[in-house]
Amino acid sequence: MSLNLEQYVSEFSAQNINGEHLLQLDGSKLKALGMTSSQDRAIIKRKLKEMKASLEKARKAQEKMEKQREKLRKKEQEQLQRRSKKTDKCLSEATEGTNEQ
């Protein structure tokens, strides 16, 4: 509707074309859905291309965030392990000192 193509809404609805299906449409599939105007198909294809690019950008950003979280989690895990080793070493030294006395 925002593209002023509301005349196709009923056919898209009747064919259960949702967002996921919409991204899979190409020129021939659009034509089969009754979109006979090449200008209208071009508008839809351009918008779909923009949407796909936007989705890809968002996916890459999500992957980047996940990698950063994983890196941070590993760093925190390493710090915990170092602290644990230090604590074990201090306890061991304290125990040895007590045993010597």
Q: Using CA atoms, how far apart are residues 38 and 35, in angstroms rounded to an integer? A: 8
Average pLDDT over residues 5-31: 89
Rounded alpha-carbon distances, angstroms, from residue 28 to 20, 22, 23, 76: 17, 13, 13, 53
Confidence of residue 100 (pLDDT cuts 50, 70, 90): low
Q: What is the CATH number of domain 7-83?
A: 1.10.150.50
| pLDDT, averaged across the chain | 88
Q: How many CA atoms lie within 13 A of 62 on its CB side?
A: 6
Q: Using CA atoms, how far apart are residues 10 and 8, in angstroms rounded to an integer? A: 6
pLDDT in tens, 39-51: 999 999 999 999 9
What count of other Cβ atoms lies within 10 Å of the Cβ of residue 76?
Answer: 10
